[in-house]
Amino acid sequence: MHQLTEFSFSKRFPELPLISAALAEEHPDFVPLSFGFPAKESFLIPLLSEAAVSALQTQGLESLQYTGGTGPKKVNEWIKKRSELRSIQSENENILVTSGSMQAIDLATRTLADPGDHVWIEAPSFFGAIRQFSLAEVELTSFPIDEDGLRVDLVEQALIEAKVKGKPMPKMFYVMPNYHNPTGVNLSLARRKKLAELAYEYNFYVLEDDAYVELSFSGGFVPSIYSFGPERVIYISTFSKIIAPGIRMGWAIAGEQVINKMRMLKSDGSTSVFVQEIVSQFLAKIDFEQHVQYLTSIYRARKDAMVRSIHEYFGNEVSYQMPEGGFFLWLTFPAEVDTSEFMEKSLKNGVGYLDGKHFYLQNDELNHIRLSFTFCDEEQIRRGIQRIAESYNDYKNNREVLEEAL
């Protein structure tokens, strides 16, 4: 029997909190409103099966190699054509298919920034991106958002101050312009233009994470930030929300020099050419516009069910901005409330949510929860909101009793 000595692992791993609400408790009727997952009904299994069989029969000998088959070229062409709806003009050399959009975030960050460089983000921001930036050992600074998205005016003030006082300038600004995770808000057209202008003026890149762009309840699109600054923006998106997250496929669009450097850092080589073949054949078999309408019809109905339930069980106790698409609703409680303090009770009651502190750098605001309306059906959503309300009311009553005792 060998005696094990404690091993000294890499120091790059930051202290990161466990996001426990994402894990289902052992409850016979658990409602995971924490899960940012697509609806199970959105997975078109028969068509995916047909596409997989066709991929093997027609391109298998090529697409099962490291490189080969017609899939990658067809996927690139689809991305290029679809991106025109966001006012993005690109060529094949501007596109890199990645193993999910998280890989695109990782590659972009390591391409643009060294450890110790400064990256600016929104507050709140997607916790997965925050973790990725922490692992890249960059210095993070956050800026608030409102109902029109990122406060670009405050970003401009900070840039001016940094320049005047000789402070470090950002190498990159990470932003989610459409159906923001977690708040669901959209970045206004004027702010998109201004952020692109600032990127040119102060020589930084914008990392535009557009994961939810297809899921518009109105069917409308606003031009991308990329369209206003293609030399200083990296645009990323994903097939996870429109086909299935399990295929692990996203993409980045940027200038050729940036894409080439990202490709050099992509240690897994080409993103699975066989999966690209399946995706290309799947996209050829479906009416994509009809498919998107199907997705948004499901999610609109579930969002409406969530809103009705919030009004029924919370009344005027909470507030939110109505999401116009995407996956999430950001529920705001009175300022003195810490939503993590009734999470354990909620889990025991059979419902999961994500408390707001995970979306900030320094736990700036504790009175929010992120709710996903996509994974659970309408009846589950109603039960889940009822259970959160019951847990919150218990928390509030207990706190009132404690305050009276003091």
Q: What is the CA radius of gyration of the chain?
A: 22
pLDDT at 406: 55
Are 354 and 21 in contact, with CB atoms under 8 Å apart? yes
The average pLDDT across 234-243 equals: 97
* Mean of per-residue pLDDT scores for the chain: 93
Helix-helix angle 378-405:288-314, to 10 degrees: 30
pLDDT bin (cut points 50, 70, 90) of residue 279 is very high
Is pLDDT of 22 > 80? no
Helix-helix angle 45-63:71-83, to 10 degrees: 130
Signed CA dihedral, 190, 192, 193, 195: sign only: positive
Residue pLDDT, tens place only, 198-235? 999 999 999 999 999 999 999 989 999 999 999 999 99
Q: What is the spatial distance between Cα 155 and Cα 45, in angstroms, rounded to a whole number?
A: 45
Q: What is the spatial distance between Cα 397 and Cα 394, in angstroms, rounded to a whole number?
A: 5
pLDDT at 1: 61
Please give the share of the chain, as a percent, with pLDDT higher than 70.
95
The average pLDDT across 127-140 equals: 95
Are 150 and 181 in contact, with CB atoms under 8 Å apart? no
Q: Parallel, antiparallel, or unpaired for β 170-175 and 118-123?
A: parallel
Is pLDDT of 7 > 80? yes
Are 62 and 68 in contact, with CB atoms under 8 Å apart? yes
Q: Parallel, antiparallel, or unpaired for β 368-372 and 354-355?
A: antiparallel
What are the residue ranges of CATH 3.90.1150.10 in the chain? Answer: 20-44+289-405
Query: In Å, what is the CA distance from 163 to each residue of 70, 115, 138, 151, 205?
Result: 49, 21, 19, 19, 16
Is pLDDT of 81 > 90? yes
CB atoms within 10 A of CB 186: 24
pLDDT at 9: 84
Q: Which fold has domain 47-285?
A: Aspartate Aminotransferase; domain 2 (3.40.640)
Query: In Å, what is the CA distance from 290 to each residue of 39, 46, 214, 219, 285?
Result: 16, 16, 12, 11, 12
Alpha carbons within 13 angstroms on the beta-carbon side of residue 42 total 26
User: Tokens 């579930």 — which residue?
Assistant: 302
Residue pLDDT, tens place only, 327-352? 999 999 999 999 999 999 999 999 99
Is pLDDT of 390 > 90? yes
Helix-helix angle 101-112:127-135, to 10 degrees: 40
Residue pLDDT, tens place only, 28-43? 789 999 999 999 999 9
pLDDT at 401: 58
Looking at domain 20-44+289-405, which CATH architecture does it have? Alpha-Beta Complex (3.90)
Residue 62 is classified by DSSP as: H
DSSP 90-135: --GGGEEEESSHHHHHHHHHHHH--TT-EEEEEES--HHHHHHHHH
The average pLDDT across 100-107 equals: 96
What are the residue ranges of CATH 3.40.640.10 in the chain? Answer: 47-285
- Reading phi first (left if > 0) and then psi (alpha if -120 to 50, else beta), residue 343 is in alpha
Q: What is the spatial distance between Cα 215 and Cα 249, in angstroms, rounded to a whole number?
A: 17
pLDDT bin (cut points 50, 70, 90) of residue 391 is very high
Are 306 and 369 in contact, with CB atoms under 8 Å apart? no
The average pLDDT across 154-165 equals: 98
Estimate to the nearest angstrom the gap between the alpha carbon of 263 and the chain centroid: 22
Q: What share of the chain is helix, strand, coil (3-state, %, to 5)?
A: 45, 15, 40
